[in-house]
Amino acid sequence: MRALVQRVSEARVAVDGQTVGEIGPGLLILICAMQGDTPAQSAQLAAKIAKLRIFKDDQGKMNLALPAAGNAALIVSQFTLAADLRDNRPGFSPAASPEDANRLYQQFTADIAAHGIRTANGIFEADMAVTLTNDGPVTIWLDTATL
C-alpha cells in the first residue's frame, strides 16, 4: 500500500459541492491499494502512520504522534498514487482492482481508528474536491514495499 501523508491545520473533501469529510488539525492521508496488497499491509501502514512523530511538542519540536497530539485523520482513496510513469501518460495497472481497493480502504480506516484516532473519509470512486492547509509544510511518502 502507498500513502501520501500531509500534516494539516485543516482539510476537507467534497463531492458534488457537499462536504463529506472534514477535520481540523491532523493528517490528510491519500491512500492507494496496490495489486496483491493484504490486510496485514494495511495494519502495518496504519501503525507506522499512527507512530509518526511529526506534530510539535511544547518546545516546537516534531516529537508527537497523531494520537498524542489529539488530532484527526482525513483518509481519501487515491488510486493515482499507483501511477506507472515510464511513459508520459501515466498508467494505473499497478493499482488494486476497485473491489480489493475499496475493501483495503475501509480496512485502513478501521486500522487507523484502532489507534484511537478520529477519522473522516472521502467517498470511494467519487470525483472529489480536496481542500487543505498544509502545516509546515510537512508531506511524507510511505510505501509498505519499503517499510
Q: Active-site residue among 78, 107, 109, 144?
A: 78
Which residue type occupies 75?
I
Helix (H) or strand (E) holding 142: strand 128-143
The three cell numbers of residue 34 are 496496490
Q: Active-site residue among 6, 41, 55, 79?
A: 79
Verify whether residue 78 is a known catalytic residue.
yes
The three cell numbers of residue 38 are 493484504
Q: Active-site residue among 19, 35, 80, 139?
A: 80
Verify whether residue 79 is a known catalytic residue.
yes
Verify whether residue 80 is a known catalytic residue.
yes
DSSP 42-83: HHHHHHHHHH---EE-TTS-EEE-HHHHT-EEEEEE-GGGG-
Block residue for cell numbers 495494519? 43
Which residue type occupies 132?
L
* The dihedral sign for the CA sequence 85, 89, 90, 94: negative
Q: How far apart are CA 11 and CA 108, in angstroms?
A: 19
Which residues are known to be catalytic? 78-80
